[in-house]
A and B are shown apart, each in its own frame.
Chain A
């Protein structure tokens, strides 16, 4: 297997119908290839489209052109054209995403939020909760917080819930958006260790890392997202 994730001529532009239908190009002809066990850090000036690329790779933004190929369940799938049900299946089994902010679900305890993707993958309830608890503890989230919904947690605590949720299922492909942005030094070290372990398991990782020290510790190489002239053009 040569790559786990690969884009071919990926384009992304936004058409803003409320601004007279202006088209704003953000990504053009992106050719990215990530091998299993490799961590690629997206580089580029602020506004170049690093987060947009990451969101396209998760299927959160639709591609405007090109292909996003993934190895999924012994098959090769194109996320750019996959229907909603296939994208859901890919996200259940193959593709994880750690966003910068936790979208809080009211009333659901932290432990269940972290266990949920493992349950969706087919792991039993007890095993999923055990693994969730172990990872939360490793990220310095004490046990008494596990039964609470994270709505009242600090930004750093919510980010650690997100990290536990993203790393616990051991997805073959993992996307990280500023995973250490709100963390202190000790927790940054935990995240660096988790990324190292995931790579050794063969996980392909693409990340945006604002923190260059963390980036240099985890990334095997940089991929520069070229800034485009974003002047909206009428269509």
Chain B
């Protein structure tokens, strides 16, 4: 077995600000990795680089396709990278408006991704969309409703359905519970946890929420000022933190 994604020596500066400084990360099949750190630590930049949205100034990212072929992400043709985002990868944005099309129906949002993956039979696509709405706890009777009429939590669940319907192997998530009420967050986290285990997904999750990382992640990567200061097994990093910054982070939350 080898990693789905492996990055080494990543470096990126914005003017005088160091966003990434010699960062290395690996994600293996079926593994949930949380990148934690405060705002400005570089965690969102790292997610954008690892998902091919932003090239680094130094280092490289290797992607392994389902047939076992290795590809250097930023040497891939643009069209191949876009295809990757429609098939083997998924991306869940913090703001569901960035990942959904608000002007087409809930079912259409799910169906669109299926069509992009090559599905053509309308009845079949609609049946799969209804099934996925139920899986993310949205009444399938609302298949023709526009997502702009959904609550924030429902929109986020719809975005997750749209992302997972094509069975990606690796899903990137940027603060997926970010803008939501605490009660809605718990429900969403729990739903994500169930789907990830059931579908055996690899997930790279960016969050500043230590309890969310504890609940979902097998491994944690702690970032501060563009550097990985500590990484390892989730419960060990949180219960026996070694780096001063991780100790600060874990003692700043109640019963994480």
Chain A residues within 8 Å of B, Cβ to Cβ: 14-18, 55, 59-62, 83-85, 87-88, 105-108
Query: B236, A106: Cβ atoms under 8 Å?
Result: no
B189-246 with Cβ < 8 A to chain A: 189-190, 193-194, 215, 218-219, 231-233, 235-236, 239-240, 242-244
B174 at the interface (CB under 8 A from A): no
B180 at the interface (CB under 8 A from A): no
| Residues of chain B within 8 A of A15, CB atoms compared | 242
Query: B235, A60: Cβ atoms under 8 Å?
Result: yes
B39 at the interface (CB under 8 A from A): no
- Nearest B residue to A84 by beta-carbon distance? B233
Query: A18, B251: Cβ atoms under 8 Å?
Result: yes
B70 at the interface (CB under 8 A from A): no
CA A106 to CA B243, docked complex, whole Å? 30
Pairs A–B under 8 Å by Cβ, sample size 8? A18-B248, A60-B236, A60-B240, A62-B242, A84-B233, A84-B236, A105-B193, A107-B190
14 additional A-B pairs beyond A84-B218, A105-B193, beta carbons within 8 Å, are A17-B243, A59-B236, A60-B239, A61-B236, A62-B232, A62-B242, A84-B233, A84-B236, A85-B219, A87-B236, A88-B233, A105-B190, A106-B190, A107-B187
CA A17 to CA B249, docked complex, whole Å? 12
Out of B31, B186, B194, B233, name the residue touching A59 (CB < 8 Å): B233
CA A87 to CA B239, docked complex, whole Å? 15
B154-211 with Cβ < 8 A to chain A: 186-187, 189-190, 193-194
Query: B247, A17: Cβ atoms under 8 Å?
Result: yes
B137-152 with Cβ < 8 A to chain A: none
Query: A17, B219: Cβ atoms under 8 Å?
Result: no
B74 at the interface (CB under 8 A from A): no
Query: B233, A87: Cβ atoms under 8 Å?
Result: yes
Sorted nearest first, the 4 A-B pairs with minimum C-beta distance are: A17-B244, A84-B233, A61-B240, A107-B190
A18-B251, A105-B215 as given contacts; A62 in contact with B186, CB under 8 Å? no
Out of A62, A85, A105, A106, name the residue touching B240 (CB < 8 Å): A62
CA A14 to CA B247, docked complex, whole Å? 11
Query: A18, B244: Cβ atoms under 8 Å?
Result: yes
| Residues of chain B within 8 A of A87, CB atoms compared | 233, 236
- Nearest B residue to A119 by beta-carbon distance? B197
CA A60 to CA B31, docked complex, whole Å? 18
A15-B242, A105-B215, A107-B187 as given contacts; A85 in contact with B31, CB under 8 Å? yes
Query: A84, B251: Cβ atoms under 8 Å?
Result: no
CA A14 to CA B236, docked complex, whole Å? 13
| Residues of chain A within 8 A of B244, CB atoms compared | 17-18
CA A84 to CA B237, docked complex, whole Å? 10
CA A126 to CA B94, docked complex, whole Å? 37
CA A17 to CA B244, docked complex, whole Å? 5
Least CB distance, A52 to chain B, in whole angstroms? 10
| Residues of chain A within 8 A of B187, CB atoms compared | 106-107
Query: B232, A84: Cβ atoms under 8 Å?
Result: yes
| Residues of chain B within 8 A of A62, CB atoms compared | 232, 236, 240, 242
Least CB distance, A53 to chain B, in whole angstroms? 13
- Nearest A residue to B241 by beta-carbon distance? A17
| Residues of chain B within 8 A of A105, CB atoms compared | 190, 193, 215
Query: B218, A16: Cβ atoms under 8 Å?
Result: no
CA A70 to CA B194, docked complex, whole Å? 31
Query: B239, A61: Cβ atoms under 8 Å?
Result: yes
Least CB distance, B177 to chain A, in whole angstroms? 13
| Residues of chain A within 8 A of B240, CB atoms compared | 14, 55, 60-62
CA A172 to CA B247, docked complex, whole Å? 33
- Nearest A residue to B246 by beta-carbon distance? A17
Query: A16, B28: Cβ atoms under 8 Å?
Result: no
| Residues of chain B within 8 A of A14, CB atoms compared | 240
CA A215 to CA B249, docked complex, whole Å? 38
CA A106 to CA B189, docked complex, whole Å? 9
